[in-house]
């Protein structure tokens, strides 16, 4: 389960029960780009949050040519999502373990549903 940056931010403000369950069951993974976004954030607990995320299994992004191919093949362009969101989608589509994506972002969720990689609780 790839958990999007916005979900992690909310979880560390006020615990999100589904995230707590996924972490406890060992189903949560941190995507390298999500970790990077969290690392760029600020706040009193930033270092603690980053340290906790580093304890989770990590998914790296696919090779750039594969990402480019998936963006074209799955018509991810012009969907009003950012590059990191596109990379997360491509990772979910390409990864052998078939992770799903948990997000609170409506545009990313719409695309995750369309591609069949949205988390359903």
Looking at residue 121, its pLDDT comes to: 64
How far is 33 from 86, CA to CA, in rounded Å?
11
Choosing among 1.10.860, 1.10.3470, 3.40.50, 1.20.140, the CATH entry for 2-115 is 3.40.50
**pLDDT for 58-112, tens place per residue?**
999 999 999 999 999 999 988 999 999 999 999 999 999 999 999 999 999 999 9
What is the DSSP code string of 60-81?
PPPPHHHHHHHHHHTT-TTSS-
**Domain coordinates in residue numbering, the chain:** 2-115
């Amino acid at each position: 389960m790839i958990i999007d940056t916005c979900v992690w931010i909310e979880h560390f403000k006020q615990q999100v029960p589904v995230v707590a369950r996924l972490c406890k069951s060992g189903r949560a993974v941190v995507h390298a780009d999500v970790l990077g976004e969290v690392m760029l954030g600020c706040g009193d607990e930033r270092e603690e949050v980053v340290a906790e995320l580093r304890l989770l299994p990590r998914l790296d992004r696919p090779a750039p040519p594969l990402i480019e191919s998936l963006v074209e093949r799955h018509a991810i362009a012009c969907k009003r999502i950012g590059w990191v969101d596109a990379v997360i989608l491509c990772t979910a589509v390409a990864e052998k373990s078939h992770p799903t994506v948990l997000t609170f972002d409506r545009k990313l969720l719409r695309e995750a549903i369309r591609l069949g990689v949205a988390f359903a609780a």
